[in-house]
């Protein structure tokens, strides 16, 4: 009777934890884990085309009113127009070997990035698009000048500019420069140059400000990423990845901020720094503005209502830096970097410190990074990400061989004494207290520890969770084939063959374990793997492959240890 009560309490506790997790997902703005809510219908309207290049009035921001006088609040920064308000005549398309970029000559903003080496998941005949300014999405990178004193007006991302430079990176060329030059506004002329390099998703952006007036001016440079808060197309309800802005500074490191916290003005991040970056992060891809170390900047994240057809508001990640007073005829240049590309760890590490953290492993980063390094090294030898996953799991099983051996040896002992325990339970079923005492005596005489099979496995769980995040976060898995019908390790198996194999191997492993003495516990041992396996039908094939490999190796090791200990392997099928 005590065993039954204990089991019922464990079931209630486990079910409560699942419900709490589900509510936590909802609280953080994600879909429920088991019963996804229907998507909110977006009202799509076609806004009128603008008749001029006039700016849009600014809005209030989430930046505190205590911002220092030298760096005015981000509310001074103009807001982007409603999508898709850009006239086609204003657009300029520039191509390199990896990028097809669309710039808007109104302000020299980057309004579309198409990746020539990454396919769209929904339509693999098309290239993947990250930044976009259309009826479905607002996601742009902008920069310009604002005044350090009240009433000052300078060239912004809404100012018409003249374009110079080539449109294509030709064979034999390693660099392409596109320059946008504004007319004089408020005594200042802004020249914005994008320097694109072969094979790179990062571009240097040189902002040169000249005082063409007869009086001193004090402009400030702003760099901002503007994005709607809509969910990513095709986002899974069974696992969640972060989408939103992030801030990195040397003192507070990587700080990711939820859209909901920005809208509620509860965002917590460092607002003044002299290093770091602001970014917009999503699964596999990111964009970021980076200023050189030592350049002071104010950082702000705010929600702006731009009347976009894609939603009720967008979100800005902005950096503002002073350019000091410019006397008549003087000029000053500020170098920045704009990154828009895949979260390839080595590439991000080479660009600026901390940028690799946009590939977010969470609290298991300390374990995940060496696992990714090992996986990448295996791929450099094998040249197939699927077989590299198999090889990594084999290496991990070898590393944990002795821990697993102790666990399976304990299970084998439990299996050997199980007939004696079952006979005793049947004999003393009317005397629970004596049953417990007799069970402990059997375990003590046979030198069996009921928890001996759990602890060695518990030690390994953080490592395998870290590997889970490595496989889920690595953009290298996108459209990466393995064998036969598996052409994309980041997508679910189209025929559900791998999830079925995983379910069968999980049930086979359960059948090899000793049957719990309590009948209810024995039934739960079979229900839980089945419930758990359902989620894997919607998981990426790479994750399922990792789990199948782990299951097969565990079964082989358990079979071997049972045989060596003289406990014939047998399958304990459920009795319902």
| 157 alpha carbon, distance to own chain's centre | 29
Nearest-10 crossing angle of helices 519-535, 2-27:
20
Range scoring the smallest mean pLDDT among 144-153, 320-329, 488-497, 512-521: 512-521
118 part of a folded domain = yes
Residues 346 and 442 in one domain: no
> CB of 147 within 8 A of CB of 154?
yes
Higher-scoring residue by pLDDT: 570, 177: 177
Name residue, tokens 């189209």. Answer: 494
The runs of H, that is alpha helices, within 159-280 are 259-263
Residues 219 and 85 in one domain: yes
Segments forming the whole domain that contains residue 241: 74-360
295 part of a folded domain = yes
- Whether 428 shows a pLDDT value over 80: the answer reads no
Residues 154 and 269 in one domain: yes
Residues 453 and 544 in one domain: yes
Handedness of CA 327, 329, 333, 334 (dihedral sign): positive
Residues 89 and 181 in one domain: yes
Higher-scoring residue by pLDDT: 568, 208: 208
- Whether 230 shows a pLDDT value over 80: the answer reads yes
519 part of a folded domain = yes
Residues 450 and 381 in one domain: yes
Integer Cα distance of 544 and 484 in angstroms:
16
Give the max Cα distance, the chain.
Answer: 104
Residues 497 and 550 in one domain: yes
- Whether 573 shows a pLDDT value over 90: the answer reads no
Tell me the pLDDT band of 153, cut-offs 50, 70 and 90: very high
Which of 33-37, 214-218, 428-432 is the most confident on average? 214-218
pLDDT tens profile 70-84 = 344 555 677 655 445
Higher-scoring residue by pLDDT: 313, 128: 128
47 part of a folded domain = no
Integer Cα distance of 306 and 161 in angstroms:
23
- What is the pLDDT at residue 566? 67
9 part of a folded domain = no
| 532 alpha carbon, distance to own chain's centre | 23
Strand partners, 161: 182
Mean pLDDT, residues 145-171 taken together: 91
- Whether 51 shows a pLDDT value over 50: the answer reads no
Tally of CB atoms within 10 A around 179:
17
The number of folded domains in the chain is 2
Residues 172 and 211 in one domain: yes
- What is the pLDDT at residue 333? 96
Of 360, 383, 407, the last residue of a domain is: 360
Of 326, 360, 394, the last residue of a domain is: 360
315 part of a folded domain = yes
- What is the pLDDT at residue 515? 63
Higher-scoring residue by pLDDT: 68, 448: 448
Burial group, residue 484, by CB count within 10 angstroms (0-12, 13-18, 19+): exposed
pTM more than 0.85: no
Range scoring the smallest mean pLDDT among 166-170, 382-386, 419-423, 539-543: 419-423
41 part of a folded domain = no
- What is the pLDDT at residue 200? 96
Integer Cα distance of 141 and 145 in angstroms:
14
Of 360, 388, 404, the last residue of a domain is: 360
Here the CATH number for the domain that contains residue 274 is 2.70.98.90
3-state secondary structure 309-336: CCCCCEEEEEEEEECCCECCCCEEEEEE
Residues 356 and 434 in one domain: no
261 part of a folded domain = yes
Tell me the pLDDT band of 37, cut-offs 50, 70 and 90: very low
Average pLDDT, the chain: 80
């Amino acid at each position: 009777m005590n065993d039954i009560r204990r089991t019922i309490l464990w079931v209630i506790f486990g079910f409560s934890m699942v419900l709490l997790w589900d509510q936590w997902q909802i609280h953080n703005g994600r879909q429920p884990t088991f019963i996804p809510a229907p998507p909110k219908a977006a009202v799509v309207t076609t806004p009128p085309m603008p008749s001029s290049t006039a700016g849009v009035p600014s809005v209030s921001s989430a930046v505190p009113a205590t911002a220092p006088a030298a760096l005015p609040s981000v509310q001074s920064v103009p807001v982007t127009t409603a999508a898709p308000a850009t006239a086609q005549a204003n657009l300029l398309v520039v191509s390199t070997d990896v990028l097809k970029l669309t710039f808007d000559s109104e302000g020299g903003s980057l309004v579309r990035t198409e990746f020539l080496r990454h396919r769209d998941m929904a339509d693999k005949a098309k290239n993947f698009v990250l930044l976009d300014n259309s009826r479905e999405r607002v996601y742009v990178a902008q920069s310009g000048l604002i005044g350090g004193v009240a009433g000052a007006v300078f060239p912004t991302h809404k100012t018409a500019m003249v374009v110079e430079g080539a449109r294509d990176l030709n064979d034999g060329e390693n660099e392409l420069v596109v320059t946008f030059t504004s007319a004089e506004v408020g005594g200042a002329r802004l020249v914005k140059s994008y320097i694109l390099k072969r094979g790179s998703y990062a571009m240097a952006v040189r902002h040169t400000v000249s005082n063409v007036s007869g009086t001193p001016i004090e402009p400030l440079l702003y760099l901002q990423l503007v994005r709607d808060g809509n969910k990513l197309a095709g986002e899974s309800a069974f696992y969640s990845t972060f989408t939103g802005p992030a801030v990195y500074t040397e003192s507070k490191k990587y700080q990711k901020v939820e859209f909901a916290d920005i809208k509620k003005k509860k965002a917590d991040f460092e607002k003044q720094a002299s290093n770091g970056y602001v970014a917009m992060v999503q699964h596999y891809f990111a964009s970021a503005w980076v200023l050189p170390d030592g350049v002071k900047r104010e950082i702000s994240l705010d929600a702006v209502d731009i009347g976009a057809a894609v939603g009720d508001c967008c979100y800005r990640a902005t950096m503002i830096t002073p350019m000091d007073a410019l006397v008549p005829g003087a000029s000053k240049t500020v170098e920045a970097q704009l990154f828009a590309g895949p979260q390839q760890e080595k590439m991000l590490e080479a660009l600026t410190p901390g940028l690799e953290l946009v590939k977010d492993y969470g609290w298991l980063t300390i374990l995940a990074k060496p696992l990714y390094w090992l996986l990448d090294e295996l791929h450099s030898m094998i040249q197939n990400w699927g077989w590299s996953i198999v090889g990594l799991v084999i290496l991990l099983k070898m590393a944990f061989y002795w821990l697993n051996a102790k666990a399976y040896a304990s299970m084998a002992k439990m299996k050997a004494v199980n007939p004696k325990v079952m006979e005793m339970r049947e004999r003393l079923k009317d005397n629970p207290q004596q049953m417990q005492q007799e069970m402990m005596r059997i375990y003590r005489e046979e030198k069996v520890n009921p928890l001996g099979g759990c602890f060695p496995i518990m030690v390994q769980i953080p490592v395998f969770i870290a590997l889970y995040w490595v496989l889920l976060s690595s953009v290298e898995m996108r459209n990466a084939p393995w064998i036969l019908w598996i052409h994309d390790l980041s997508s679910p198996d189209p025929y559900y063959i791998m999830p079925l194999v995983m379910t069968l191997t999980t049930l086979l492993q359960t059948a090899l374990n000793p049957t719990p003495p309590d009948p209810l516990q024995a039934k739960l041992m079979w229900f839980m793997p089945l419930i758990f396996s359902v989620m894997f039908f919607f998981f990426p094939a790479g994750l399922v492959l990792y789990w199948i490999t782990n299951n097969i190796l565990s079964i082989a090791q358990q079979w071997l240890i049972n045989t060596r200990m003289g406990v014939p392997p047998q399958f304990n099928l459920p009795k319902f």
